Amino acid sequence: MEEEFTRGEGRPRLLDLVPNGRDWGSYAAAEEKKLELRLGLPGGEDWPAGQEKREHPVESVLSLGHISKVPKSTNVNASSGTKRGFLGQVEPKTEGILIDYMTFQQQQLQQPQLGFLQLQAKGKESLQKTSGSAEQQSLEGKGCGPHAAHASSTKNAAVAHTTSQSRRAAATPVVGWPPVRSFRMNLAGTAAKASAESQNGSSEGAKKLENDRKSLFVKINVDGIPIGRKVDLKAYDSYDKLSLAVDELFRGLMAAQVDPLAPSTRKNSEEKDVLVGLLDGSGEYTLVYEDDEGDRMLVGDVPWDSSSQKGGNQIIVWNILILLLPLITCSMFVSMAKRLRVLKSSELSASSVSSFFV
Amino acid sequence: MTYFPEEVVEHIFDFLGSHRDRNAVSTVCKAWYHVERFSRRNVFVGNCYAIRPERVMARFPGMKSLSVKGKPHFADYNLVPYDWGGFALPWINAAVRRCPGLEDLRLKRMVVTDDDLDLLARSFPNFRSLVLVSCEGFSTDGLAAIATYCRGLRELDLQENEVEDHGRQWLSCFHESCTSLVSLNFACLKGEVNAGVLERLVARCPNLRSLKLNRAVSVESLNEIVARAPYLVDLGTGSFAVDHHTDAYQRLMNSFSKCKSLSSLSGFWEASPHCLDAVYPVCINLTVLNMSYAPAIQADDLIKLISLCFKLQKLWVLDCIGDKGLAVVASTCKELQELRVFPSDIYGAGATSVTEEGLVAISSGCPKLNSLLYFCYQMTNAALITVAKNCPHFTRFRLCILDPWKPDPVTNQPLDEGFGAIVRSCKNLRRLSLSGLLTDQVFLYIGLYAKCLEMLSIAFAGDSDKGMVYILKGCKNLRKLEIRDCPFGDFALLNDVAKYETMRSLWMSSCDVTLGGCKALAAKMPRLNVEIINESEGSDKLEENISDLHKAEKMYVYRTVAGPRNDAPDFVWTL
């Protein structure tokens, strides 16, 4: 599952650089290049299954300029200001910290190459901070000694190092990172839109908050398989992609199932793609979703995306009950489906699928 | 001591609360072993596969309360496939046969089905308390069975479980004569419950002290409940979405002002600004406050609330509280012992989040702090050194810097010195989670100083096998070690194989251990189960074809007297 996340090649190189004077200046430059080095992106088991390119700029994993990367300049000022404030508060009572700073400085001096680059990187970082250069100077003065910052000179070294960084951390989101439970992952991302709620009523606001989530994990169960999976609806933009993903999710589990039914179905289960034809009713299984009124509906009737007219798509007959909480205006289907289920097509008539009888 | 009659010895043992103490006395001599085993009422099994349920029941026939844990901790973060194992049924079956007097059952990270709950409900006439933490596999039908058949039920506590909602009005299944409830927590349920049924249930249970509602419970309902249960000690509000201009809001404030015993608050799933004012009357008495499910609450409202909570001991918040908010916590909550700051915006550098500043402020303002879980985007060595100096009493220190391998942004150094200071200063540290850029040096420090450490979580850290060797050699009390994405390989794994029998479990994923190394470990240590989780396609067929040099993607090793388990799915190979 995590084989995509390559550690092999780049990692020894990175670690070798630690004692030899790592080029820290690269990271600030790297973020300018917006390379996808970030690893702290949404985890969740469906991440490798087809997450599209992320919308927001991705920061370098080892970004020094984390503060400066924040889009709003006010925050940058605030954080740099507060940073200075921290040092200011700390100084009077804890000489130990300064002593420790000095220790760090000495360590760096022992590795002059590293120190030089680190100072340069520090300068680079300060250059990137938007304003308040006087603050920056004092920050530099207190913390790290004189700097002779020339951003351009670090850039070349930065580029070379960045590529090795990127090889290691190449745009692969990490499963299970950050170590936060799924329900918190779904909660997260709504905080940024909290201001919306104060304008609308609270319940609408909550819905709006959910609208801006970047991932929406919903449960999907297949008939006959006791264990379900979760799928991120926001990762897809069409029924086809969703159906492919569901097929992949359950292929292994289906193959492992002993099929007690008639030989005709057993033949199907031996095939690699057991879950084809989910969308058009031709396969052994059908996709169904359950909406927020609790009714089971055939998947495919509503366009996936309300903004673009995709009515021409084949009717996707997936019995998927998506366990979705709020409405998401950007996708009509995603907003309506609460839960996904994959039912056997032969059982469709027995189950209460609303649109089936229309 | 052996001349005392057994009753006296047993009476002395009654004063031993902890499992470890009781385990220790039972090894002294045969006589004590027998006295202890017949008198033990609370049985704790840390790993459900370490011993067969029948053996546990046979040894402790007087068992009244059982607590079992299943999946490894990293299952919380989706690193363990759903069907890995941890089934509750064997334990319930064994208890049905051997300990029908069972009263309390607590399961953590296990798979519990509706049938299991049904069996449980019907089989134990004295059943009082069911606590399920991070479990899955059951639905509201199972809860209905519990409500129907457990007549004397006192506690039903569902914490962060995955519960399917079959729409069954399970709450209605509590009989009219059921008046014994003391604690009810269904906050993790997604479905609606009938408001009238809930209110009547609360009204007829005079001993109810802890009630945690789910998101679907409206403010009107909450109002009724709080009005009827003014003796509540612990309350999880439902949605709490209320317009503070309405009468409903006024009534709510009045109800809360009558709750003199309320000391713990959580919930606030959908809270609007200013609605928190209703809660102000109880702030002065609050010892526990959990606002971590409420991303909608602005930092300012949160700060206003917290600035009234002088007695707060445990605080869970989202990082939108910011460093400013943490400074307020530091100046207000002098009794604070546990702090958890969760990330509110994982997908980008949060516009508001916390930094090392907030942590330093907390450490200087809250000297009693002993348990920390802190998610942030950056941390400095200097800050950690300060924290270590200010708070030497940490028993749990879990720091998660959201970007892996992130160094100290001020000095660009790894965070070895910072964490080193923590373990040097906090002599009683039992649990530690590391993050940020770390070299082998930090593990040297941990091995050297963290003598009480029992649980260590490592991710994206270290340079070489030496790191892991330092840990295994130095941490004498280590019980659980979980590692992901670190460059530790076979040499470290096989350096001291006997060590693993002194530990409960070892988890290594995305490290450099190979299949061959795992096989060697399994061969040398027959009393360990060495399990490999292989999730590639057709994995069950390819075992013979995979060379020993192939990396073991996920490995879970645990000591056991039960031998290899027989319920392992195909993708789990026990070597």
For the stretch B334-361, pLDDT in tens is 999 999 999 987 766 556 789 999 999 9
Cα–chain-centroid distance for residue B227?
A: 32
Question: Which residues make Cβ contacts (< 8 Å) with residue B13, sequence separation at least 6?
Answer: B22, B25, B35, B36, B39
Q: Is 80 exceeded by the pLDDT of residue B289?
A: yes
User: What per-residue confidence (pLDDT) applies to A231?
Assistant: 78
Out of A23-37, B50-64, B555-569, which region has the weakest mean confidence (pLDDT)? A23-37
pLDDT, greater one: B167 or A306: B167
User: What per-residue confidence (pLDDT) applies to A287?
Assistant: 80
Q: Is 90 exceeded by the pLDDT of residue B86?
A: yes
Secondary structure in 3-state letters for chain A: CCCCCCCCCHHHHHHHHHHHHCCCHHHHHHHHHCCCCCCCCCCCCCHHHCCCCCCCCCCCCCCCCHHHHCCCHHHHHHHHHHHHHHHHHHHHHCHHHHHHHHHHHHHHHHCHHHHHHHHHHHHHHHHHCCCCHHHHHHHHHHHHCCCCCCHHHHHHHHHHHHHHHHHHHCCCCCCCCCCCCHHHHHHCCCHHHHHHHHHCCHHHHHHHHHHCCCCCEEEEEECCCCCCEEEEHHHCCCHHHHHHHHHHHHHHHHHHCCCCCCHHHHHHHHCCCCCCCCCCCCCCEEEEEEECCCCEEECCCCCCCCCCCCCCCCCCCECCCCCCCCCCCCCHHHHHEEEEEEEEHHHCCCCCEHHHHC
User: What per-residue confidence (pLDDT) applies to A263?
Assistant: 45
A294 interface with B at CB cutoff 8 Å: yes
User: Measured between CA atoms, how close is A312 to chain B, in angstroms?
Assistant: 34
Is A209–B296 a contact, with Cβ atoms under 8 angstroms apart?
Answer: yes
Q: Which residues pair with B163 in a beta bridge?
A: B138
B379 chain-A contacts, CB cut-off 8 A: none
pLDDT, greater one: A258 or A71: A258
Residue A333 pLDDT class (50, 70, 90 cuts): confident
Q: Which among B468, B473, B466 has a CA at the least distance from the CA of B451?
A: B473
Model-wide pTM > 0.80: no
For the stretch B196-250, pLDDT in tens is 999 999 999 999 999 999 999 988 899 999 999 989 999 999 888 877 778 888 8
Cα gap B546→B554, rounded to integer Å: 15
Q: Write phi, then psi, for B314 (nearest 5 degrees).
A: -135, 125
A94 chain-B contacts, CB cut-off 8 A: 386, 389
User: Measured between CA atoms, how close is B291 to chain A, in angstroms?
Assistant: 12
State the amino acid at position B78 in one-letter form.
Answer: N
Q: Encode burial over B209-233: b for 16+ CB neighbours within 10 A, e otherwise.
A: bbbbbbbbbbbebbbbbbbbbeebb
Average pLDDT over residues A272-289: 67
pLDDT, greater one: B241 or B442: B442
A343 interface with B at CB cutoff 8 Å: no
User: What per-residue confidence (pLDDT) applies to A163?
Assistant: 40
Q: Which among A167, A11, A178 has a CA at the least distance from the CA of B463?
A: A11
Residue B548 pLDDT class (50, 70, 90 cuts): confident
Identify the residue among B71, B74, B77 best suited for mutation to test binding to A, counting A beta carbons within 10 A and taking the highest. B77
A40 interface with B at CB cutoff 8 Å: yes
Is the bond into A226 cis (omega within 30 degrees of 0)?
no
Between residues 94 and 153 of chain A, which touch chain B (CB distance below 8 Å)? Answer: 94, 96-97, 100-101, 103-104, 107-108, 118, 121-122, 125, 143-144
pLDDT, greater one: A208 or B198: B198
State the amino acid at position B262 in one-letter form.
Answer: L
Average pLDDT over residues B127-133: 96
For the stretch A299-321, pLDDT in tens is 777 777 644 433 333 333 333 33
Average pLDDT over residues B77-96: 93
Q: What is the mean pLDDT of chain B?
A: 91
Q: Is 70 exceeded by the pLDDT of residue B138?
A: yes
Is B296–A201 a contact, with Cβ atoms under 8 angstroms apart?
Answer: no
Helix axes B299-306, B322-332, angle to 10 degrees: 0
User: Measured between CA atoms, how close is B152 to chain A, in angstroms?
Assistant: 32
Task: At B109, list the tokens.
Answer: 């990270």
A129 chain-B contacts, CB cut-off 8 A: none
For the stretch A239-275, pLDDT in tens is 777 887 777 777 767 766 654 444 444 444 444 445 6
Q: Is 90 exceeded by the pLDDT of residue A327?
A: no
Is A177–B347 a contact, with Cβ atoms under 8 angstroms apart?
Answer: no
Instruction: Output the CA–CA distances (angstroms, integers) from residue B159 to A132, A225, B130, in the order listed.
Output: 48, 26, 11
State the amino acid at position A115 in one-letter form.
Answer: G
User: What per-residue confidence (pLDDT) applies to B277?
Assistant: 87
User: What per-residue confidence (pLDDT) applies to A25?
Assistant: 44
Residues B411/B381, Cβ–Cβ less than 8 Å: yes
User: What per-residue confidence (pLDDT) applies to A166?
Assistant: 38
A185 interface with B at CB cutoff 8 Å: yes
Cα gap B242→B258, rounded to integer Å: 19
Task: At A355, list the tokens.
Answer: 């649109």
Type and span of the H or E element at B382: helix B381-390
pLDDT, greater one: B312 or B297: B312
Is B343–A227 a contact, with Cβ atoms under 8 angstroms apart?
Answer: no
Question: Which residues make Cβ contacts (< 8 Å) with residue B319, sequence separation at least 6?
Answer: B341, B342, B343, B344, B345, B350, B352, B353, B354, B375, B376
A72 interface with B at CB cutoff 8 Å: yes
Class of residue B525 by CB neighbours under 10 A (exposed 0-12, middle 13-18, buried 19+): middle
Residue A290 pLDDT class (50, 70, 90 cuts): confident
Nearest CA in chain A to B384: A97
Q: Is 50 exceeded by the pLDDT of residue A194?
A: no
Among the partner residues B296, B320, B343, nearest to A178 by beta-carbon distance: B343
Q: Is 80 exceeded by the pLDDT of residue A152?
A: no
Residues A197/B296, Cβ–Cβ less than 8 Å: yes
First to last CA, chain A: 42
Q: Which residues pair with B139 in a beta bridge?
A: B164
Is A188–B271 a contact, with Cβ atoms under 8 angstroms apart?
Answer: no
Task: At A48, list the tokens.
Answer: 């490798």
Residues B528/B494, Cβ–Cβ less than 8 Å: no
Task: At B281, list the tokens.
Answer: 């009357």
Coil, strand or helix at B197: helix
Residue A149 pLDDT class (50, 70, 90 cuts): very low
User: What per-residue confidence (pLDDT) applies to B509?
Assistant: 93
Cα gap A139→A121, rounded to integer Å: 14
pLDDT, greater one: A233 or A257: A233
Average pLDDT over residues B537-566: 79
Residues A215/A231, Cβ–Cβ less than 8 Å: no
Nearest CA in chain B to A194: B296
B192 chain-A contacts, CB cut-off 8 A: none
B437 chain-A contacts, CB cut-off 8 A: 62
A52 interface with B at CB cutoff 8 Å: no
User: What per-residue confidence (pLDDT) applies to B348?
Assistant: 61
Q: Write phi, then psi, for B468 (nearest 5 degrees).
A: -70, -35
User: Measured between CA atoms, how close is B151 to chain A, in angstroms?
Assistant: 30
Is B190–A219 a contact, with Cβ atoms under 8 angstroms apart?
Answer: no
